[in-house]
Amino acid sequence: MPEHVDSPKEACGVVGIHAPGVEASNLAYYGLFALQHRGQESAGIAVSEGATIVVYKDMGLVSQVFDQQKLSSLPGHIAIGHVRYSTTGSSLWENAQPTYKTAGNLEIALGHNGNLINTRELSELAGEPSDSFGPDATSDTDVIASLIADSGKENAEEAIMEVLPKLTGAFSLVLMDTVTLFGARDPHGLRPLVLGRLKEGYALASETCALDIIGATFIREVEPGELVIIDERGLRTRRFAPATPALCIFEFVYFARPDSKLFGKSVYKARYQMGQRLALESPVEGDLVMGVPETASAAAAGYAAASGIPYGEGLVKNRYVGRTFIQPTQLIRQQGIRAKLNPLQEVIEGRRLIVVDDSIVRGNTTAQIVRMLRDAGAREVHLRISSPPIKWPCFYGIDTANRDELIGAWMSVDEICAKLEADSLHYLSLEGMVAATDVPGEKFCTACFSSEYPIPVPEHVAVTKHMLEQPPVVGGPAGRG
């Protein structure tokens, strides 16, 4: 992954399996494989046969961490799995998940998608040194697991029910003890979590595409503020907080796979309609509409359909570029985005291009793409972005950089356009983005665009994202963008 990435990065993907008579680790593996887009730093699976929990995790992609021999060493009908992209906590083996804890009568494993904003206070409850869980806490997941294991309760269900109301922030959790699978979602449902039915039992996953790959039938989304309990008696649920839905809208824009569904709505259709609305909001003359692979492809197709301008592929993505432990040479590093994208000169040369992308964070990668297209002979490059300018950092599990690094926070659209050396630039409006999802706007968190955070952000946490600082000088007064 390049040092400077122009799209936000998700925190994690999780999966949970309870299927008597089935080797759950195999289903968890395929579920994680479907969720690889949500995290490429580490992968792990915890299993139980009913007596004890075994955990295997390592750095790397799912296919690098697991093979058939490793999966065969993980027998059991209960499993949870996790893929990680770090936000809170460094990219280290120690922070790979699932996290395992045992204390007294409790033995648990836990996988977490999201980010807490009260880790400092929770660490004190967990008996951890307060300075070790400050703004740059090693792992908020470790704090959650410690609180549950050390709760003093006789069983995991009651321990979990005691701890969940104390958590503030985003969390979609899969948890297990030796005999029970649990799933929980924060009261706002900031991160997705779905429930599916297997022939032999049940499955939990971050997205419906993971249910599809393991042959599970989608039942419903885990509700915000709900704890799902699955054991030999079947499925039960308990509520630990009232539901006030605020799903991160970036799931529709970028994070989720296009073949997934959120709120029962197709992610692909939403992105296609974002492209259509973008064409209506920002028409421009051109010869070819192209998307930046791969998350902007649907929006580009929608833009082409609404504008009547032909759609084509002008950039080819190397789909086998992933995280690697082999550090590239300085010469390769200097190639930047060219290691991942390569222009099709015969498609681009002499044409006026309308280039659709899903977002711009810092602008570095977008600038490289514009330069690459011009070098390939593009006559004009018009940028169209299928979301509004990102102006505010996320505190709920998405790596959107510090606020002083967000180009949309301090520059007007015209200034950004000039910096990127594009012929024109237009972002989709917030209203247009929400309308394209066919979901009521009040069910979303749009904080990175609007600064309307569904959960108040403590000052000491805001400082870590430079929210309280004055904008840097960027060559002129910052416009609204």
Query: Which segment of 91-95, 169-173, 271-275, 310-314 scores lowest on mean pLDDT?
Result: 91-95
d(CA 54, CA 431): 48
Q: Could you tell me which of 149, 118, 145 has the C-alpha nearest to residue 134?
A: 118
Confidence at 105, pLDDT banded by 50, 70, 90: confident
Average pLDDT of the segment spanning 336-353? 90
Residue 400: predicted pLDDT: 63
Question: What pairing do the DSSP bridges indicate for beta strands 202-205 and 380-385?
Answer: unpaired
323 in the same domain as 229: no
Is 1 domain-assigned?
A: no
Please check whether residues 215 and 288 belong to one and the same domain.
no
Instruction: Name 189's Cβ contacts closer than 8 Å, sequence gap at least 6.
Output: 221, 223, 224, 225, 243, 245, 246, 247
CB 101 within 8 A of CB 115: no
**Whether 48 contacts 54, CB under 8 Å:** yes
Higher-pLDDT residue of 332, 424: 424
Burial of 459 (0-12, 13-18, 19+ CB in 10 A): exposed
> Which pLDDT score, from 0 to 100, does residue 70 have?
97
pLDDT, residue 3, reads: 36
- For position 321, what pLDDT does the model report? 57
Q: Which amino acid is at 231?
A: D
Q: List, for residues 397-448, the tens digit of each pLDDT value.
A: 776 668 888 999 999 999 999 999 999 999 999 999 999 999 999 999 999 9
470: in domain: no
Distance CA 82, CA 173 (A): 10
Domain CATH for 432: 3.40.50.2020
Looking at residue 479, what is its pLDDT? 27
What's the pLDDT tens digit per position in 81-104?
Answer: 999 875 444 556 777 999 999 998
Helix H or strand E encompassing 147: helix 140-149
Would the pLDDT of 69 be above 90? yes
Distance in angstroms (rounded) separating the CA atoms of residues 116 and 119: 6
Q: What is the mean pLDDT of the chain?
A: 89
Q: Does residue 327 carry a pLDDT above 70? A: no
Based on the fold, state whether residues 410 and 340 are members of the same structural domain. Answer: yes
| SS3 category, 112 | strand
Is 464 exposed, middle or buried (CB count within 10 Å of its CB: 0-12, 13-18, 19+)? middle
Q: What DSSP character marks residue 328?
A: P
- pTM of the predicted structure, to 2 decimals: 0.90
Angle at 396 between CA 400 and CA 169, to 5 degrees: 160
Q: What percent of the chain has pLDDT over 70?
A: 86
Options 12, 209, 248, 417, the catalytic residue = 12
pLDDT of 270 above 60: yes
**Does residue 231 belong to any structural domain of this protein?**
yes
Which pair of structure tokens corresponds to residue 371? 């330069």
385 with 423, same domain? yes
> Which residue matches tokens 């967990």?
126
Q: Give the end of a domain, one of 245, 260, 295.
A: 245
Contacts 24+ apart (CB under 8 A), 65-71: 66/29, 71/23, 71/25, 71/26, 71/29, 71/45
Q: Are residues 181 and 220 in the same domain?
A: yes
Same domain? 392 vs 331: yes
Are 387 and 339 contained in the same domain? yes
List pLDDT tens digits, range 179-229.
999 999 999 999 999 999 999 999 999 999 999 999 999 999 999 999 999
What token pair was written down for 481?
């963008």
Do the domain assignments include residue 481? Answer: no
Is there a single domain that holds both residue 226 and residue 303?
no
More confident residue, 381 or 319: 381
Token pair listed for 152: 């003093």
CB 96 within 8 A of CB 58: yes
Residue 265 domain flag: no
Please give the pLDDT value at position 405.
86
Query: How many domains would you assign to the chain?
Result: 2
445 in catalytic set: no
The pLDDT of residue 472 is: 45
Residue 465 has pLDDT above 70, yes or no: no
Mean pLDDT over 134-141 rounds to 56
Q: Examine residue 441 and state whether it is found in any structural domain, yes or no.
A: no
d(CA 124, CA 169): 17
Query: Does one domain contain both 192 and 309?
Result: no
Mean pLDDT value of segment 230-239: 97
pLDDT band at 109 (very low <50, low <70, confident <90, very high): very high
468 falls within a domain: no
pLDDT(68) > 50 = yes
CA distances (Å), 374 to each of 2, 132, 160, in order?
21, 48, 56
Q: Where is the domain boundary, 436, 454, 470?
A: 436
For residues 300 and 356, is the Cβ–Cβ distance under 8 A? yes
The last residue of a domain, from among 245, 261, 279: 245
Q: What pLDDT, on the 0 to 100 scale, is given for residue 90?
A: 56
Greater confidence, 321 or 52? 52
Q: What is the pLDDT of residue 214?
A: 98
- CATH no. for residue 161? 3.60.20.10
Task: Report the C-alpha gap between 315 and 342 in whole angstroms.
Answer: 5
Same domain, 431 and 315: yes
Q: Which residue type, as a one-letter code, is found at position 19?
A: A
* pLDDT of residue 301 exceeding 80: yes
pLDDT of residue 95: 77
Q: Which DSSP string do the residues of 403-441 spell out, in sequence order?
A: GGG-HHHHS-HHHHHHHHT-SEEEEPPHHHHHHHTTS-G
Does some domain include residue 479?
Answer: no
Residues 213 and 73 in one domain: yes
Same domain, yes or no: 118 and 203: yes
For 59, 127, 410, the CA distances from 444, given in Å and listed in that order, are 33, 35, 24
Nearest-angstrom CA–CA distance, 116 and 122:
10
Give the model's pLDDT for residue 128: 60
Mean pLDDT lowest among 76-80, 240-244, 276-280, 321-325: 321-325
Please give the residue range of the domain that contains residue 75.
12-245
Sheet containing 202-205, strands listed edge to edge, beginning at the edge strand earlier in sequence:
53-59, 42-48, 78-84, 12-18, 202-205, 194-197, 217-221
